[in-house]
Amino acid sequence: MAKKSFFVTGTDTGVGKTLVSAAILEAAAVRGLRTLGMKPIASGCDSTPDGLRNEDALALMKSMTEPLSYEQVNPIALEPAVAPHVAAAQAGRQVTAERLAGFCRGLQMRPADLLLVEGAGGWRVPLNDRETYSVVSMLLQMPVILVVPVRLGCINHALLTAEAIRRDGLVVAGWVANRPDERPMESENETLAYLRSHLGARCLGVLPWQSEPDPVALADSLCLDVLFEK
């Protein structure tokens, strides 16, 4: 059974959740830990001879230490590159939080030191007309790792997301700052200092911008000690 499980969310879509997740998996592997990762539902998948494949799920597979089939990592793969609830409706598929949580519980039963479950979009992205992705985390009672892109507006988005996570009864286990642009934002140091003092959770690292994202190289930018405290 996985000793530690975390749900990875972001303040929005396109903030670097997959890159951060892969870097955490790489950093954990350096510590000699057995790791698993999954992206229960993914839209924007490519059609291949082996079936639909999502680049984020493939990135997780590359960085985790334990072998899994693609279907275990990404059990619901959708081709349209739109929000999951829209993609599922277009594909004629029913997606519920309980079903996604069931996939996650299956992987939680596998022997590993760390399991990361990567969400889609932000904390309140819809799964269907009644549920948002946050319900999956609530069903699993997983601590949450928050990915924050270092750009204008990130303080507001990060504080609101952390507030929503805690209001849903979950713990923000830590947050990772990711630089999505080559040019640093103005007042970056002041922004990071404010987040460190107001988010109420430990900063696990500040990832530098990379022209070619490399989770292996980013592993050194992370400190995971807080995740593995007793």
What is the number of structural domains in the chain?
A: 1
Interacting residues of 16 by C-beta distance below 8 A, sequence separation 6+: 10, 147, 149, 178, 180, 207
Helix (H/G/I), strand (E/B), else coil: 218:
helix
Write out the chain's pLDDT in tens, 230 residues: 779 999 999 999 999 999 999 999 999 999 999 999 999 999 999 999 999 999 999 999 999 999 999 999 999 999 988 888 999 999 888 899 999 999 999 999 999 999 999 999 899 999 999 999 999 999 999 999 999 999 999 999 999 999 999 999 999 999 999 998 888 888 999 999 999 999 999 999 999 999 999 999 999 999 999 898 76
Q: Phi/psi at 120 (nearest 5 deg)?
A: -130, 135
Give residue 146's domain range: 2-228
Tell which residue, 6, 1, 3, 2, has the closest CA to residue 136: 6
Question: pLDDT at position 230, please?
Answer: 61
Annotated active-site residue 17? The verdict is no
Question: pLDDT at position 177, please?
Answer: 97
One of 3, 4, 17, 39 is an active-site residue; which one? 39
Token pair of 105, please? 């519980």
Identify the CATH number of the domain in which residue 28 sits. Answer: 3.40.50.300
Beta strands in 138-214 (DSSP E): 144-149, 172-178, 203-207
Tell which residue, 184, 181, 206, 180, has the closest CA to residue 193: 206
Of the chain, the end-to-end C-alpha distance in Å amounts to: 17
CA–CA separation, 159 and 168 (whole Å): 14
CA–CA separation, 57 and 54 (whole Å): 5
| Strand ordering across the sheet containing 2-10 | 35-38, 112-122, 2-10, 144-149, 172-178, 203-207
